[in-house]
Structure 1
């Protein structure tokens, strides 16, 4: 397999889509990785497996409609394998394994059948102390955008997933690119104040547009850098509630086609006004785990 990913919006050809089958029992509050999941566990509204399976199959149908090669993880009984974006990511022709929460390391083994099709020299393991998840990493041509948390209390936040060691490691792997890091707001307890990953508060879309949530960034100058990069006329700003509903976590099949949650009325209307075809799917149940469409896809090849 010849990997090729240089941005978020070029025509998608191959992707790993997670699976919601056999995700196991509802986690306890102690087992939950994020504040939004904890909210739904407490409220008794944690998503049912059968509903999430239907939502993911709706995405699989859209991908197949656009002739995208779709890989799925091998099933591990009673194990959550929805969010494949966390476990690895591709930049250029390199497949980089994430260093993620220890409880989740079986997930990468479940896509071994995909990794085995890649030149072993292109499969990269980062240093053990470089913590990173794919939701924090966005290739953008000559740039790589990375969400991170730089505070001395990093270890106190289960929601802090990417550290500065990982940012430095990416710069060494891709010396010809400019790696730009963004400090994200973190909260273990309040979902509306937590940018779990960069794609929870920012995502490029179309040819030159971006979805952005200002309050997800700890440092205003870093938010402003993105506004200047895209141009303020090309920015679609989302509200705190829209961030909570994961409006920035849609998924591009091409510059002209995106998959989006059917309930994102304001966003979907804006996307269509930009000449983008919106393939609407139900994904509100999966979003209860603080992840949406980008989180559950791992692109391998784009034109």
Structure 2
């Protein structure tokens, strides 16, 4: 059974990133975001940090799965969030912009086979120009927030409206572009609900913050330096607890979250963020509730 109606419902089952075989064949490496220009992380560091991440999850009673090895031609399986997402009781299999990421979904097919198929529960975009990535979609309070960004286009938003508009209020969000001086890769790098009615936000990444955010959340504002360190990219275990980076620039945000009555578990997590993704990017929840 798969299920997700909120980013903050209790996490029960999740796929996390696979660090094994990372960058096994550098010949297939593709620059997928600006952060990678500063260098790729080392596998021993990835192992240590992902093992710590997994332990926190399993200690919290979460069932943890890992993608199967796809092959040398997929050099990075660290961030499964982008390849798909559970929306309600259906699984959206995304269409990725970057060539090297389009085969990552094969690593989770084993888990998708377990989804009941008495109705079409796996939704796949039917156009090769319909681009959607899971990091651009957040689900909360009956809303499906979807960013038009570097990786999700207006055709992708229209597809989500067609598929899920009867169940959720689709809220399109325009992210500022690289040309506008903002390197926000996905929506979850500039917005993330926490707790019952709190949210982290990097307002400069939005062309306009929608009323569904302004009216429904007490906002904890993240500055540009904190956003660069992915302070918004936390993972909620429940409304009462999150996982966040143990990093000097993230600590002030973590302290503000604690003031909202939410427990923050801080973990050293520096390797994956060097590729542009933190805890939310490195996790694909299959069941919350």
TM-score calculated relative to the size of structure 1: 0.88
* Higher deviation after alignment, 281-290 or 131-140: 281-290
Does the CA contact (< 8 Å) of 2:175 and 2:184 recur in 1?
Answer: yes
Counterpart position of 1:50: 44
- 2:33 matches 1:34: yes
1:235-267 superposed Cα distances (whole Å, 9 cap, x missing partner) = 000110000000000100000010111112101
- How far did residue 31 of structure 1 move? 2.2
The residue correspondences of 1:280-299 to structure 2 (distance < 5 A) are 280-299=266-285
Q: Structure 1: which 5+ runs fail to align? A: 150-159
Call closer, same or farther: CA 1:259–1:227 in 2, change over 3 Å.
same
- Cα offset for 1:77? 4.4
Aligned length: 280
* Alpha-carbon distance in structure 1 between the residues aligned to 2:2 and 2:156: 21
Structure 1 residue runs of 4+, over 3 Å off?
A: 25-30
Q: 2:169 aligns with which of 178, 186, 201?
A: 178
Tell me: CA distance 1:65–1:31, structure 2 relative to 1, closer, same or farther (3 Å).
same
C-alpha separation in 1, matches of 2:151 and 2:122: 21
Q: Report the alpha carbon displacement of residue 112 of structure 1 after superposing the two structures with TM.
A: 1.2
What residue number does 2:94 align with?
98
Q: CA RMSD in A?
A: 2.0
Tell me if 1:241 matches 2:225: yes
Instruction: State how far apart, in whole Å, the 2-side matches of 1:175 and 1:36 are.
Output: 34
Whole-angstrom distance in 1 between the partners of 2:189 and 2:270: 15
Once the two structures are superposed, residues 175-232 of structure 1 have per-residue CA deviations (whole angstroms, 9 ceiling, x without a partner) of 32210111112228x9x72110000110000100000001111x2xx3152552235x
**1:225 pairs with one of 197, 211, 214:** 211
Matched residue SS, 1:56: helix
Secondary structure of the residue aligned to 2:192 is: strand
Asked if structure 1 preserves the Cα contact closer than 8 Å seen for 2:28 and 2:100, the reply is no
User: Residues 74-89 of structure 1 correspond to what in structure 2 (within 5 A)?
Assistant: 74-78=68-72, 79-89=75-85
- 2:83–2:94 contact (8 Å) kept in structure 1: yes
CA distance in 1 between partners of 2:30 and 2:195 (Å): 37
Q: Secondary structure at the match of 1:223?
A: coil
**Retained in 1: the 8 A contact 2:81–2:134?**
yes
**Normalising by the residue count of structure 2, what TM-score does the alignment of the two structures yield?**
0.92
